[in-house]
């Protein structure tokens, strides 16, 4: 074997090591060598994903050849993720976090040879100094280079005193480009902002709660129906999706009874299925995380408690469209389906209606055989943020208020008590009695969703009774009450 081959660590196991910079992973690559040379699997998606590397979807492979030892390039933070490995020779690598956030300015250095690679997330500055003549390193990136993309780079001077990179070959003796010599010091660097989160349906009950949950977050963009109409294909085509990391779909057609009419059926399928399929296509093409809000109406209510694994069994058109939308979203590699029930937020809703009726002296008849748990939008919004920021495995998660099951009549009685009316003034009827002689969609009688899965991720929803006591009781929609 050559001297260069002797410097390589052969046959060590594939492993990933964390670094001081969040998301930057140093990877040990198994290299197999003999008198002919060596061989390695430079990128192996299945094995590396199992180690915890992001499945970052590389689309371009580049090679940098450097004739002389001491050739130094950087420090460049690029608007894509990058996987770097050495093909021949050795390099000293330096990485500086140039992303907006608490780790801005964190430095990590390491020597790379063919048995070592590194994963560098978007916004982390990287620089390389060759330690041998005829050194070549390769890098996979998950977006195509373009002149426009180069305008999104962030740069740091190689000689920055704050980063204080310990270059093995002093920069005065190294080969540098004049452009790299002129990059700014850390104090003058504008940090690279994270990719944006787009919230659709931002003026609905959940959308308003998401505005509150992300208040002050510059990377979150809110779009009302006027700004992004899910039923209009032009809304999807007019946006540059490369600037986004996630889409939260808080919009839906939710008129349960109207969905049973010919016009409502078409509208429900257009918004809850066709538009969701468009979002799913965009999420796949641009490697976005898609957050989609689901409903207890995807079930028929035959089970006392519904888990995430229960097969769909919707009773009416609204439930059918929500189930179809869930099925579409489930094939997106990066998705969260947040299944909820009995949603209460700011504006027109069941709780506000009961409070209004109580104040006006009305004694409503409220269904007593539909059982579930109310869910306040503040919990849904907090849960969505937890899923996106907590490194939670993708999939479907039930998210409702915690606590004891209740009927709609029980909730109404609690509202009456909260505004000083006798809860006994709430009349109790069956669903069949309530809808007798009226055209209405079928409802699941049991809507309780099991919360164990989301609780194992560290998110514990508030008891719905506590949320109810703190909820402003204003006028609203009448729900299943009269």
Pairing relationship of beta strands 25-28 and 375-376 according to DSSP bridges: unpaired
Q: Could you tell me which of 181, 192, 57, 190 has the C-alpha nearest to residue 123?
A: 192
Please give the backbone phi and psi of residue 346, each rounded to the nearest 5 degrees, phi first.
-80, 130
- The residues annotated as belonging to the active site are 76, 139
How many C-beta neighbours within 10 Å does residue 294 have? 23
Q: Distance between CA 105 and CA 96 in Å, rounded?
A: 6
Output 383-387 pairs: Cβ under 8 A, ≥24 positions apart: 383/338, 383/454, 383/459, 383/461, 384/210, 384/213, 384/248, 384/291, 384/336, 384/338, 385/213, 385/214, 386/457, 386/458, 386/459, 387/291, 387/336, 387/338, 387/457, 387/459
Name every residue whose Cβ is closer than 8 Å to that of residue 39 and which is 6 or more positions away in sequence. Answer: 31, 32, 33
């Amino acid at each position: 074997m050559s001297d260069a081959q002797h410097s390589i660590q052969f046959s060590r196991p594939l492993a990933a090591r964390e670094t001081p910079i969040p998301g930057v992973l140093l990877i040990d690559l198994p290299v197999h060598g003999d008198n002919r040379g060596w061989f390695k699997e430079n990128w192996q998606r299945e094995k590396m994903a199992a180690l915890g590397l992001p499945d970052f979807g590389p689309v371009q492979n580049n090679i940098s050849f450097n004739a002389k030892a001491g050739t130094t390039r950087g420090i460049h933070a690029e608007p894509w993720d990058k996987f770097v490995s050495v093909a021949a020779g050795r390099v000293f690598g330096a990485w500086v976090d140039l992303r907006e956030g608490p780790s801005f300015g964190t430095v990590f250095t390491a020597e790379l040879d063919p048995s070592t690679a590194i994963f560098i997330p978007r916004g982390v500055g990287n620089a390389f100094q060759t330690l041998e003549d005829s050194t070549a390193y390769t890098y996979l990136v998950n977006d195509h280079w373009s002149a426009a993309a180069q305008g999104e780079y962030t740069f740091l001077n190689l000689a920055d005193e704050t980063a204080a990179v310990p270059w093995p070959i002093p920069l005065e003796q190294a080969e540098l480009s004049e452009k790299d010599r002129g990059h700014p010091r850390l104090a003058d660097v504008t940090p690279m902002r994270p990719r944006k989160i787009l919230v659709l349906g931002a003026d609905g009950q959940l959308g308003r709660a998401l505005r509150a949950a992300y208040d002050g977050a510059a990377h979150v963009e809110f779009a009302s129906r006027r700004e992004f109409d899910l039923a209009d294909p032009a809304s999807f085509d007019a946006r540059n999706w490369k600037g986004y990391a996630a889409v939260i779909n808080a919009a839906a057609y939710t008129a349960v009874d109207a969905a049973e009419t010919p016009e409502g059926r078409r509208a429900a399928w257009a918004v809850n299925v066709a538009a969701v399929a468009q979002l799913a296509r965009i999420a796949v093409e641009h490697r976005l995380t898609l957050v989609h809000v689901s409903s207890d109406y995807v079930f028929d209510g035959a089970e006392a408690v519904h888990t995430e694994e229960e097969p769909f069994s919707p009773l009416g058109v609204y439930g059918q469209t929500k189930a179809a939308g869930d099925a579409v979203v489930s094939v997106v590699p990066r998705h969260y389906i947040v299944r909820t029930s009995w949603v209460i937020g700011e504006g027109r809703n069941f709780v506000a209606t009961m409070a209004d009726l109580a104040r006006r002296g009305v004694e409503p008849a409220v269904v007593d055989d539909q059982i579930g748990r109310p869910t306040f939008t503040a919990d849904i919004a907090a849960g969505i943020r937890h899923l996106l920021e907590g490194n939670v495995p993708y999939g479907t998660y039930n998210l409702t208020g915690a606590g004891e099951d209740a009927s709609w009549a029980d909730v109404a009685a609690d509202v009456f008590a909260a505004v000083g009316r006798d809860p006994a003034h709430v009349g109790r009827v069956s669903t069949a009695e309530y809808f007798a002689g009226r055209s209405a969609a079928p409802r699941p009688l049991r809507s309780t969703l099991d919360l164990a899965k989301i609780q194992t991720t560290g998110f514990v929803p508030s008891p719905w009774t506590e949320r109810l006591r703190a909820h402003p009781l204003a006028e609203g929609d009448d729900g299943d009450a009269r």
